[in-house]
Structure 1
């Protein structure tokens, strides 16, 4: 397994970019690699976020996510 992540944040939100994956044991399409990006915003106690994940190798899916958290 491997991965690298970079984050930047401030008073109004945060941005995270991640590259990750792993190498399998049979070398038959089991070496998935993905890159993802997440943006999170701060609005009082609420924290809306949006993210996107892109499959680079051996991972045929693309995923978009939207969420809302309530921070205590």
Structure 2
């Protein structure tokens, strides 16, 4: 997702006449979002772990585990 977004940002900046190098592109389109995305991943993992059943239902394949 980040790769496609960076390509789109680079294309938009190129069409608007701005000159940007790889580091500048990363500073605008990737670095500001890493912390927020990491927090969202941790929250989603916590919620998924909390709502996922801990025991199998009836005769499911993974009932032995």
Q: TM-score range, shorter-chain basis?
A: under 0.3
Greater Rg by CA: 2
Q: Which has the higher helix share?
A: 2
TM-score using structure 2 length: 0.23
Q: Which has the higher strand share?
A: 1
